[in-house]
Amino acid sequence: MKLLIILTGILMTILTVGAQNSDDPYLWLEDVEGDSAMSWVLAQNKITVDAIQAHPDFEKIKKNILDVLNSTERIAYPTIHGKYVTNFWQDDKNERGLWRRTTLENYLQDSVQWETLLDLDALSEQEGEKWAYSGVSYLYPDTSLCMIELSRGGSDAVEMREFDLRTKEFVKDGFYVPEAKSSVDWIDKDHLILSTNFGEGSLTTSGYPRIAKIWERGTALDEAKTLYEGRDSDVAVWVYVVNTPEREYAIVHRSITFYTYEMFVLMDNKLVKLDLQEDAQLDGFFKNQMLVELKSDWLVEDNTYKQGALLSVDFDKFINGDRNFQVIYEPDERSSLGSVSNTKDFILLNKVTNVRSELIKSKFIDGQWTMEKVKAPDFGSIGIATADDFSNQYFFTFTNYLEPSSLYYVSDDQQIKKVKSLPHFFGSSKFQVEQYEAKSKDGTMIPYFIVFAKDMKLDGSNPTLLYGYGGFEISMRPRYSATIGNSWLELGGVYVVANIRGGGEFGPKWHQAALKENRQLSYDDFHAVAEDLISRKITSPEHLGIEGGSNGGLLVGVAFTQRPDLYNAVVCAAPLLDMRRFNKILAGASWMGEYGNPDVPEEWAYISKYSPYHNLDKSKKYPKVLFTTTTRDDRVHPGHARKMSARMTDMGIDNFYFENTEGGHGAGVTNEQRAFMTAVEFTYLHKMLK
């Protein structure tokens, strides 16, 4: 009977997919680099570029953006590795970028002398490939060797090569992992732990690796020893190594769904499963204390630990059955934990209260945790730029909507010094910031930030850009944007950021409130903020535009299909839009934990109510939307934007479409590409809203 049920389920899935395919006349646009699809893309690009470039402000806006991206006054953000600080840098002379380093002492000087480790422009020319730098993993504690990640055109799939920082060359016959969506880290000088595409059957339905192996130097990749195998239906199996001064912890992380996991630690050449809640997040190790962040309440031996709390327990005792956790941090209704970072003698907690950051230093002394607030700036967003596990040095950043990002250095003796700061790329003194709240459909109060000129008139005529995301527990916190400043605010615009449910502004509960069948709450929140802006006479539908990318692209796609009466411009970037097929293309299956599974009738019933692609109505009057994406986006398939645009055009609904041929899940690889696409977006907004 069980086998019959399984076979029936498989048959129904095949029939459902077949029905979906036959009902969609635009499937050919999912052929990413197919001749017909690319001909369509190039034709749409020309229509859009011709129209946007004709606007009198286009060249000015593009120049403003490019000047910021190429500015030598930008902060070269550091990463501490041993005695060195590394940085990746792009400008007008180094379009694809330089990976470089200097000493920490030199970095703290006014004039920094950088040593180039790898020139991506030279490498691209030498190999005839458009390489983009994607990251690096170091051997510890000796950081002379690393694995460099190189991406073709900015895609998520990367090629990994062993690199020697002493010779500044790739290691001949060294470790090499072919292009794939992989994770790799060092066990020791001669062994890697990795998950990648090992060939047929080694990937999940989400297109990520499902097998983890140990690879010994001098052997072929297909000879690597299998350590763990996940299931086809899993999101992925990832690997990484946590290095601390006391010991290293090699981790195999099985993502069952986007929000449920199993985690294993390699001990004595065997994997030991960590007995944690499936949705608990492992935040690392500190002085052999395992740090665990809870996404839901957890009852353990008559103790209930609160959702959003950070716990610790001695790792060795935990492995032997001890469940006596200590609470390091516990949130309240308006606070959450943004991040956790380690130094040698304390951890750093980035606490967020009412969408504003504060930095807490916590030490583990005589079996107890202490708490001390770091004297960092207030009323903005703090980020840990880099921290050193082997000293107490770290760098943090501070920013808000009107204060340029600044970089602070904290020395071993805990002296805090502002070492670098962005210049004012626009006249911040002319503007002010307020935080308002809007009442959503169910009565929940939704906070939002608004940046506007001090002399703004409340007459409903102000061109206003409303930005939102609302997904995956990602918080929209205050940040300085030179581009928004010089390309929107300075040219008469108002900028608004909505902190809607689905995000992480108030911790896991704020995110989980809008999961799956409750997704409409996120969209109701966004509509409520728009209506509040209009009721306050800050703007009106004629002058109100919205923008979002990725999940935010889905957000604005829903917004304009559900409430076209509220908006006159929509920047829909790298979006999910076809929610019937999102789980069938690229990494889409990994997001079913967020949206649900459209192949399950009960779940498609609620997804279908908001899926933008399926809710277009040619009888409605829609704003003239701008869709943007990139051909090399191998996370959110460009077919979403392509098909939506084509369908709207065939329904007689006018729209703009622009697709960059490079860029991955972003706006481009080079500063020129990023500036062009961003200029297209902002020029479009000025064209539509003024």
Model pLDDT for residues 53-106, shown as the tens digit of each residue: 999 999 999 999 999 999 989 999 999 988 899 999 999 999 999 999 999 999
509, amino acid identity: K
Task: Kindly indicate the confidence band of residue 663, based on its pLDDT and cuts at 50, 70 and 90.
Answer: low
Whether residue 441 is found in the same domain as residue 346: no
Question: Is the previous residue joined to 56 through a cis bond, with omega within 30 degrees of 0?
Answer: no
Question: What would the pLDDT profile of 334-350 be if each residue is shown by its tens digit?
Answer: 999 999 999 999 999 99
Residue 366, classified by CB atoms within 10 Å of its CB into exposed (0-12), middle (13-18) or buried (19+), is exposed
Task: Kindly indicate the confidence band of residue 667, based on its pLDDT and cuts at 50, 70 and 90.
Answer: low
Angstrom distances, CA of residue 590 to CA of 376, 546, 549: 37, 27, 18
Residue 217 has pLDDT above 60, yes or no: yes
For residue 14, give both structure tokens: 């095949």
Whether residue 407 is found in the same domain as residue 449: no
Q: What whole-number distance in Å separates Cα of residue 24 and Cα of residue 17?
A: 11
pLDDT recorded at residue 12: 34
Q: CATH number for the domain including 679?
A: 3.40.50.1820
3-state secondary structure of 105: helix
Whether residue 494 is found in the same domain as residue 622: yes
Secondary structure element (H or E) that encloses residue 267, with its range: strand 261-267
Contacts of 526 (CB under 8 A, 6+ apart): 466, 468, 470, 498, 500, 546, 555, 559
DSSP string of 376-406? ---SSEEEEEEE-TTSS-EEEEEE-SSS--E
pLDDT recorded at residue 1: 34
Q: Angle at CA 572, nearest 5°, toward 403 and 524?
A: 85
3-state secondary structure of 490: coil
3-state secondary structure of 318: helix
Determine, yes or no, domain membership for 571.
yes
Q: What whole-number distance in Å separates Cα of residue 635 and Cα of residue 640?
A: 11
Whether residue 408 is found in the same domain as residue 436: no
Contacts of 462 (CB under 8 A, 6+ apart): 452, 456, 492, 493, 494, 538, 539, 543
Specify the DSSP class assigned to residue 112: -
User: What average pLDDT does the segment 379-398 reach?
Assistant: 95
Task: Kindly indicate the confidence band of residue 144, based on its pLDDT and cuts at 50, 70 and 90.
Answer: very high
Query: Which one from 81, 527, 543, 665 is the annotated catalytic residue?
Result: 665
Task: Kindly indicate the confidence band of residue 432, based on its pLDDT and cuts at 50, 70 and 90.
Answer: very high
Q: Tell me, yes or no, if 665 is annotated catalytic.
A: yes
Determine, yes or no, domain membership for 387.
yes
User: Other C-beta atoms within 10 Å of 620: how many?
Assistant: 13
Q: What whole-number distance in Å separates Cα of residue 150 and Cα of residue 177?
A: 11
Whether residue 524 is found in the same domain as residue 660: yes
Residue 365: domain span: 340-422
Count of structural domains within the chain: 2
For residue 283, give both structure tokens: 């935040």
Whether residue 646 is found in the same domain as residue 565: yes
Q: What whole-number distance in Å separates Cα of residue 657 and Cα of residue 504?
A: 31
Query: Which one from 405, 406, 428, 550 is the annotated catalytic residue?
Result: 550
Determine, yes or no, domain membership for 514.
yes
CA 455 to chain centre: 35
Query: Would you say 501 and 513 are in contact if contact means Cβ atoms under 8 Å apart?
Result: yes
Backbone angles phi, psi at 268, to 5 degrees: 55, 45
Task: Kindly indicate the confidence band of residue 662, based on its pLDDT and cuts at 50, 70 and 90.
Answer: confident
Domain-terminating residue out of 404, 422, 440: 422
Q: Minimal CA–CA distance to 117: which of 133, 101, 106, 137?
A: 101
Residue 608, classified by CB atoms within 10 Å of its CB into exposed (0-12), middle (13-18) or buried (19+), is middle
Task: Write down the pTM of the prediction.
Answer: 0.90
Question: What would the pLDDT profile of 299-357 be if each residue is shown by its tens digit?
Answer: 998 899 999 999 999 999 999 999 999 999 999 999 999 999 999 999 999 999 999 99
pLDDT recorded at residue 17: 36
Determine, yes or no, domain membership for 681.
yes
Whether residue 649 is found in the same domain as residue 636: yes
Secondary structure element (H or E) that encloses residue 627, with its range: strand 625-630
Query: Would you say 144 and 164 are in contact if contact means Cβ atoms under 8 Å apart?
Result: yes
Sign of CA dihedral 439, 442, 443, 447: negative
Question: What would the pLDDT profile of 235-246 be if each residue is shown by its tens digit?
Answer: 999 999 999 999
pLDDT recorded at residue 143: 84
3-state secondary structure of 146: strand
Q: What whole-number distance in Å separates Cα of residue 273 and Cα of residue 148?
A: 30
Whether residue 383 is found in the same domain as residue 413: yes
Whether residue 530 is found in the same domain as residue 639: yes
Contacts of 478 (CB under 8 A, 6+ apart): 355, 356, 380, 381, 399, 400, 401, 433, 449, 497
Q: What whole-number distance in Å separates Cα of residue 412 and Cα of residue 436?
A: 40
For residue 63, give both structure tokens: 């120049």
Determine, yes or no, domain membership for 112.
no
Domain-terminating residue out of 372, 394, 422: 422
Q: Minimal CA–CA distance to 582: which of 628, 629, 643, 525?
A: 643
Whether residue 496 is found in the same domain as residue 590: yes
Residue 444 has pLDDT above 90, yes or no: yes
User: What average pLDDT does the segment 633-652 reach?
Assistant: 96
Angstrom distances, CA of residue 165 to CA of 105, 114, 120, 125, 176: 19, 14, 15, 21, 16
Question: What would the pLDDT profile of 457-480 be if each residue is shown by its tens digit?
Answer: 999 999 999 999 999 999 999 999
Mean pLDDT (the chain, rounded): 94
Contacts of 89 (CB under 8 A, 6+ apart): 76, 97, 98, 100, 114
Residue 587, classified by CB atoms within 10 Å of its CB into exposed (0-12), middle (13-18) or buried (19+), is buried
Determine, yes or no, domain membership for 653.
yes
Q: What whole-number distance in Å separates Cα of residue 348 and Cα of residue 387?
A: 9
User: Other C-beta atoms within 10 Å of 413: how many?
Assistant: 7
Residue 19 has pLDDT above 60, yes or no: no
Whether residue 394 is found in the same domain as residue 502: no
Task: Find where tokens 């062009």 sit.
Answer: 676
Domain-terminating residue out of 422, 452, 470: 422
Residue 50 has pLDDT above 80, yes or no: yes
Contacts of 33 (CB under 8 A, 6+ apart): 631
3-state secondary structure of 19: helix
Biggest alpha carbon distance in the chain?
A: 74
CA 355 to chain centre: 18
Whether residue 413 is found in the same domain as residue 545: no
Task: Find where tokens 């990251």 sit.
Answer: 135
Determine, yes or no, domain membership for 30.
no
User: Other C-beta atoms within 10 Å of 672: how many?
Assistant: 15
Residue 321, classified by CB atoms within 10 Å of its CB into exposed (0-12), middle (13-18) or buried (19+), is exposed
Q: What whole-number distance in Å separates Cα of residue 267 and Cα of residue 245?
A: 17
User: What average pLDDT does the segment 282-295 reach?
Assistant: 97
Q: Which residue has the higher pLDDT, 663 or 433?
A: 433
C-alpha gyration radius of the chain = 25
Determine, yes or no, domain membership for 18.
no
